[in-house]
Amino acid sequence: MRRRRRLVLVLVLALLAGAAALVGLDGPPGSRRADLVGRVRVVDADTLEIAGQRIRLDAADAPELRQDCERGGVTWPCGRDAAEALRQFIGGRELRCEPRGRDRFGRILALCRAGTEDIAAWLVSEGLAVAYTRYSWRYLPQEAVARWHRRGVWGGRFETPEEWRRRN
């Protein structure tokens, strides 16, 4: 019963996040800057580089490269696997990243797409990242689906990347 209530809450929040994104409430007004376009180097699953510019995917948080997770009692390198899965997904495609601001490390926060595919939405829907709800609810619908299907990190036990960074 408790699990069902939690799932209903997640789904309601996901619907609200989706509605906010549709009407443009998921980013600060006037935050539009010139898009960055080009081939990328994957630094880790939520950090990319285009032409020497470091880009942090906005509103998603992926396991760190050195972070391990547990699935079926077995430890696996979820951070490295997430980064490699992103490399494979992007392939040699060019990305278009829409800057949304900067993080505290000076990286450009951006929504990045390969064609029409939102890279962060794909990562979260595959369970290779979590919705970074501290900053936006944009990817809660994708996280709800990944949790439900026990994809990626949701298939076992893990610390959120934010908790892992705080501890390490």
Structure tokens at 95: 């990305």
Residue type for position 72: G
Of 9-23, 27-41, 100-114, 146-160, the one with minimum mean pLDDT is 9-23
> What's this model's pTM, rounded to 2 decimal places?
0.81
Residue type for position 2: R
pLDDT digits (tens, 9 = 90+) for 8-65: 444 544 444 444 444 344 444 444 568 999 999 999 999 999 999 999 999 999 999 9
- In order, the DSSP letters of 57-113 are ETTEEPPPTT--EEETTEEE-HHHHHHHHHHHHHTT--EEEEEEEE-TTSPEEEEEE
109 backbone φψ class: left, alpha, beta (φ>0; ψ -120 to 50): beta
Longest dimension (CA), the chain: 50
Domains of the chain plus CATH, in order, are 2-167 (2.40.50.90)
Which letter does DSSP use for residue 18 in this model? H
Strands 108-114 and 53-57, how do they pair? parallel
